[in-house]
A and B are shown apart, each in its own frame.
Chain A
Amino acid sequence: MSQLVYMANQIARNFAAQGEAVAIAQTAQHIRDFWDPRMKAAILAGGEGLEPLARAAVEQLRNGVTAPR
């Protein structure tokens, strides 16, 4: 598992208790807010090992869905 996949999964796990929809949106927003473009590009290009919440967040990121700040 890549370092970025590990990070994305870790973020999602920490949002998980807030409920699935919120966790997915918050994970996507967190990556949008704090990751450098090359990191975003890498997670979009290869997400092997992503857990379901993180995978859904990456999909939101790919589709440009934004959560309210």
Chain B
Amino acid sequence: MGYEPQADFGTPEVRDGAPVTLAIDGRAVTVPAGTSVMRAAAECGGAIPKLCASDNLAAFGSCRLCLVEIDGMRGTPASCTTPVAEGMVVHTQTPRLEKLRRGVMELYISDHPLDCLTCSANNDCELQDAAAQVGLRDVRYGYAGEDHLDAAADVSNPYFDFDPSKCIVCSRCVRACEEVQGTFALTIDGRGFASKVSAGQSADDFLASECVSCGACVQACPTATLNEKAVTAIGKPERSVVTTCAYCGVGCTFRAELKGEQLVRMVPWKDGKANHGHSCVKGRFAWGYANHQDRILAPMIRESIEEPWREVSWDEALRYTADRLNAIKAQHGARALGGITSSRCTNEEAYLVQKLVRAGFGSNNVDTCARVCHSPTGYGLKTTFGTSAGTQDFDSVMDSDVILVIGANPTDAHPVFGSQMKRRLRQGARLIVIDPRRIDLVRSPHVQAEHHLALQPGTNVAVLTAMAHVIVTEGLADEAFIRERCDLDEYQDWARFVSDARHSPEVLEAVTRVPAGDLRAAARLYATGGNAAIYYGLGVTEHSQGSSTVMAIANLAMATGNVGRRGVGVNPLRGQNNVQGSCDMGSFPHELSGYRHISDGSTRAMFEADWGVELDPEPGLRIPNMFDAAIEGSFRALYVQGEDILQSDPNTHHVVAGLAAMDLVIVHDLFLNETANYAHVFLPGSTFLEKNGTFTNAERRIQLVRKVMEPANGYEDWEVTQELAKAMGLGWDYAHPAEIMAEIARLTPSFSGVSHERLDREGSLQWPVNEAHPDGSPIMHVDGFVRGKGKFVVTAYVPTDEKTGPRFPLLLTTGRILSQYNVGAQTRRTANVVWHEEDVLEIHPTDAENRGVVTGDLVRLASRTGETTLRALVTDRVAPGVVYTTFHHPATQANVVTTEFSDWATNCPEYKVTAVQVGLSNGPSDWQESYEAQARRSRRIEAEPAE
């Protein structure tokens, strides 16, 4: 694809209006009622000059360039703010309009630097285009008057500059910050000629303001006022490729814009069905890791982790790896081998890794990083609804009347969807937040939660059971829905259970610390407020009762009839870009693709016939079980693709012991990550910019990932897995990921209608895509639950075994921050570190004062499993007794502190509840010092022998 800006129709699309026919410059045009004259003209190819209008912003009518004449109407109305009417006759080009437009342009240009030839937006500037469009030839006012040309540029943001000397004060940036992003960081300061765009307070620059660097203002700016530093440095892009972001589970579509082989910028694509042209600081700007100097491009091997790495050819690395895998298999059996698929890699790559494990290694010891995040979602929603996925598309939220957010922080972890949710909240939807921490959604500009239930960490099930108690005992359940759609006996058992006085909000308040009155009010609002949707994240799943909480959420949705239509549902917000997809692809040790149990003979037979091997009918090991088995001696070799288990998995000491006990650890990644410190083979990985395939986002949307540039390491990740399989003797011969997807579709009923060719044509598909749902399924369970009758499951509150006490009196809960992503392997290697260069510990003022801690102090964070040190941030965002940190930095390694306790059904770690003590510290912990030394030793690469 070449480089052209996406078409801008000036004002937002109107979909629901009755057809209206009008004449524009003699052409008959039919558009929905409510459409602007500007948009109607643009849709029929007659673009009206404009500067303040953009089709992702509400019409503003400020620039006075889009004036038109309309028969029977006085004056020259702005076409952006004038709606179409039946029989309207519009003239967009008349001598009167030409004169007016030239006059307007003269005013703009009289206060604009005439440096087009050296401007970073030269030939990519709407002001320049508009001047040409109106035929501007001179400026009668001259350039000697008062102007803004000496206004100083603000270069504080690491990714874009703000040059007010080029600003035409069209307010597009301000409106984008409000309407698209919902942050309200920008404003127009001053009046009249003194009007200027201002970030935050007048003393702030962009970096110091509330700006979240989503890029919406840069995208909206019609001039070079807000422009990417990369464009200034490299120049205007000349070609582009549309692809899918590799950060969070929102799955934004971007256009990668390049000059030659050099990526200039990532621009959100308006046709992206998950993001509708919006982005966040990660996807928009934080792609510099792709060519970071730390990236390893040559394969490396070593006999033991005490040795330095030795660079070898791909042939040698693959031969060595295959020989060692085959030898271990021969000596210890197939079940001594296993692999981990990556939620950052494509569906096709995850599928191949699990196929290699099952068909090549000969075991079912395959797991995925979803083990440590959303495995309870898979278990809970499959049990209750019949399928392991969320029920809605993102756009469904625009039909919600009540939004319940539990254990999720959308504005930080799923920012683009967070912005959409805030848009709906500003329209009037009502918000309930259940979270021990006061997340931004609780109170931010023009958004305020009606109820914030700041529960004690670990008591989700108790809170949800108390809500169910209110709904059932106050007669708020939707009995008609339940009778029609759910198993009535199971409902009655559940209703009896939750109705018991032990589960009333008043009794459970002692456990949950949520005032009973607040909880009752929140339950009533959820049950009676109209369309009610639940959004949840890892604050639900990463508990000893993660699966129970997911089922308790499903119970609430069924009891109130909030399933099966727009605006309602149960929505897991997936952490990584392809968590949904990696789970769909058979990455769990007990399931083949499409969530079919390995013990099911007919499913197994289908795969055995296709793959030409016999499959083990027994489930394999989950990740934590792999470490246990390695220490015990029965698990000897592990292939890890795109996952840093040492940093991300709980109880780091235990992970280290497990990895150190293995004979062979193969890390396939971009960087020498923490896990690689214990690896014997390093296979260089490729970035999402360097590969073809598909990702599946949190709304089950399958989207193409298109290769933007050739892999710097020589191979896409699926090719590396295929070469390893071939070296082990498997006759794989895929020429392109499209062929892998064809196999997935052949073997997976929910994917039977999916192909790369169709995705390329249609943009995306939401599974299931099959005979029953040929065009996919934006909303699930519309005519009935996938499992037949919805299943109510009694979910009793079982307290975690992780208890506070005199030694460890505080509860630690962990999470993530907007600018960093997961273990930080990518974002730590970008300028995003300006916002978060280290993990900090949030602690309540009371707890801080009791310990003599002030913000900025180095504190020791200790649990019964380990200790680390980090800096304190004193804030009432956390409740007394609760502390919070992130896990983005290996130097902190928050997981040294977390425990091996896990969800009862899935072993998803209990990251969210660890009993800890906090005290002042004067330096790194012993563990941090010894780990740092070990990491440095382990990362040595043997110098090439002198010639």
Contact = CB atoms under 8 A, between A and B. Distances in A.
Interface of A: 3, 7, 10-11, 13-14, 16-18, 30, 33-39
Of B365, B905, B906, the most chain A CB neighbours within 10 A belong to B905
Contacts of A33: 590, 597, 599, 619
A18 B794 contact: yes
B497 A39 contact: no
Interface string B534-565: 00000000001100100000000000000000
A3 B899 CA distance: 13
Contacts of A30: 905
A14 B798 contact: yes
B618 A14 contact: no
Interface residues of B, number: 29
A36 B597 contact: no
B364 to A, nearest CB: 8
A36 B904 contact: no
B39 interface: no
A14 B125 CA distance: 62
A15 to B, nearest CB: 9
7 contacts: A7-B907, A10-B904, A14-B548, A14-B798, A34-B622, A36-B618, A36-B620
A38 B904 contact: no
A32 B59 CA distance: 61
Contact of A36 (B497, B589, B794): B589
Contact of A35 (B497, B619, B796): B619
A16 B797 CA distance: 11
A18 B798 CA distance: 13
Contacts of B544: 10
B363 to A, nearest CB: 9
Contact of B796 (A7, A10, A14, A37): A14
Of B618, B619, B794, the most chain A CB neighbours within 10 A belong to B619
A36 B619 contact: yes
A14 B335 CA distance: 29
A16 B848 CA distance: 40
Contacts of B365: 36
Contact of A34 (B590, B634, B794): B590
A35 B621 CA distance: 7
A14 B619 contact: no
A14 B634 contact: no
A3 B620 CA distance: 17
Contacts of B107: none
A11 B904 contact: yes
Given A10-B904, A18-B794, A36 B625 contact: yes
Contacts of B618: 36-37
Nearest to A30: B905
B335 A36 contact: yes
Given A33-B590, A36-B618, A14 B545 contact: yes
Contacts of A7: 904, 907
A36 B545 CA distance: 22
Contact of B798 (A13, A35, A37, A39): A13
Contact of A17 (B622, B796, B900): B796
A11 B545 CA distance: 10
B499 to A, nearest CB: 14
Given A16-B796, A33-B599, A11 B905 contact: yes
Interface string B62-84: 00000000000000000000000
Nearest to B620: A36
Contacts of A13: 798, 904
A3 B589 CA distance: 19
A17 B496 CA distance: 12
B260 to A, nearest CB: 51
A13 B904 CA distance: 9
Contacts of B590: 33-34
Interface in B579-600: 589-590, 597, 599
A39 B589 CA distance: 13
Nearest to B797: A17
A64 B907 CA distance: 24
Those 5 A-B pairs whose CB atoms lie nearest each other, nearest first: A17-B796, A10-B904, A14-B904, A36-B621, A17-B794
Contacts of A3: 628, 900
A3 B621 CA distance: 14
B328 interface: no
A49 B795 CA distance: 24
Nearest to B548: A14
Interface string B588-632: 011000000101000000000000000000111110010011000
Contacts of B619: 33-36
Given A14-B905, A36-B589, 14 more contacts: A10-B904, A11-B905, A14-B545, A17-B794, A17-B796, A18-B794, A33-B590, A33-B597, A34-B622, A35-B619, A36-B620, A36-B621, A36-B629, A37-B335
B545 A38 contact: no
A17 B629 contact: no
Nearest to B907: A7
A38 B629 contact: yes
Contacts of B628: 3
Interface in B515-548: 544-545, 548
A3 B590 CA distance: 20
Interface in B51-104: none
B763 to A, nearest CB: 37
B715 to A, nearest CB: 32
Interface in B331-369: 335, 364-365
Contacts of B622: 34
Contacts of B545: 14
Contacts of A10: 544, 798, 904
A16 B335 CA distance: 33
Contacts of B620: 36
A39 B618 CA distance: 11
Nearest to B634: A38
B485 to A, nearest CB: 21
Contact of B625 (A11, A18, A39): A39
A27 B100 CA distance: 79
A36 B621 CA distance: 5
Contacts of B589: 36
Contacts of B906: 34
Nearest to B616: A37
A3 B629 CA distance: 11
Nearest to A31: B619
Contacts of B548: 14
A39 B624 CA distance: 12
Contacts of B900: 3
A38 B338 CA distance: 14
A14 B628 CA distance: 23
A14 B795 CA distance: 7
Contacts of B629: 36, 38
A52 to B, nearest CB: 16
Contacts of B904: 7, 10-11, 13-14
B590 to A, nearest CB: 6
Of A18, A36, A38, the most chain B CB neighbours within 10 A belong to A36
Of B335, B364, B545, B796, the most chain A CB neighbours within 10 A belong to B796
A43 B497 CA distance: 32
Contacts of B796: 14, 16-17
Interface string B899-923: 0100011110000000000000000
Nearest to A6: B801
A56 B629 CA distance: 25
A16 B548 CA distance: 13
Nearest to B363: A36
A64 to B, nearest CB: 14
Contacts of B364: 36
A46 to B, nearest CB: 13
A36 B620 CA distance: 5
A17 B364 CA distance: 32
Nearest to B379: A34
B328 to A, nearest CB: 16
A37 B622 CA distance: 12
A31 to B, nearest CB: 10
